[in-house]
Amino acid sequence: MRGLYIGRFQPYHLGHQAVLKKIAQEVEEIVIVIGSAQESHTPENPFTGGERMEMIYAALSEIDLRECSIVTPLQDIQRNSVWVSHLRSMVPRFDVVYSNNPLVVQLMSDAGIEIRRSPMYQREQYSGTTIRKLMSENREWAGLVPASVAAFIREIGGLERLIAISKSDRD
């Protein structure tokens, strides 16, 4: 059985890691889809599709899930009514989708695909929005992502990038 987990992973954090550990108890293989893969260098989407792919593979190695996972980027198509077909044309076949995102849940249900929700893990702090805010304010963020992800973000100058692109020309 193959499960699919989709997110933007801006950045990949310990909430995502907890969800994947749980999914791995239910399916043999996991397809992890990086949504809005074309986006980067914005306050909402600081990291490229490729950078997010590297983050996720590094984090999967930490919990021994790299062998049973496929990570793949997916561009937006700006047309929700055919988005599930778009997804299906780009990724390996899957039996069940894991998501808590209301739009994803709705589109998958419309297409007759089984959806499973996962519990939310410490959602206040394990949240992409929260972590990007902490990073852009140069406050403590590294403890909210796997150690390998924090190291990768430092290696690519991710913190400096996020701080720089969060400024306006009036600053």
Contact set with ligand ATP (CB under 6 A) = 7-10, 15-16, 19, 99-101, 118, 120-123, 126-129
Shortest reach from residue 100's CB to ligand ATP, in Å: 3
Shortest reach from residue 170's CB to ligand ATP, in Å: 25
Give the 3-state secondary structure of residue 128: helix
Q: Residue 48 has which token pair? A: 């490229």
Residue with Cβ nearer ligand ATP (10 or 69):
10
Residue with Cβ nearer ligand ATP (32 or 148):
32
Shortest reach from residue 97's CB to ligand ATP, in Å: 10
Strand segments, DSSP code E, in 9-145 are 29-34, 69-73, 96-98, 114-116
Report in angstroms the alpha-carbon separations of 145 from 102, 115, 168, 169.
24, 26, 27, 30
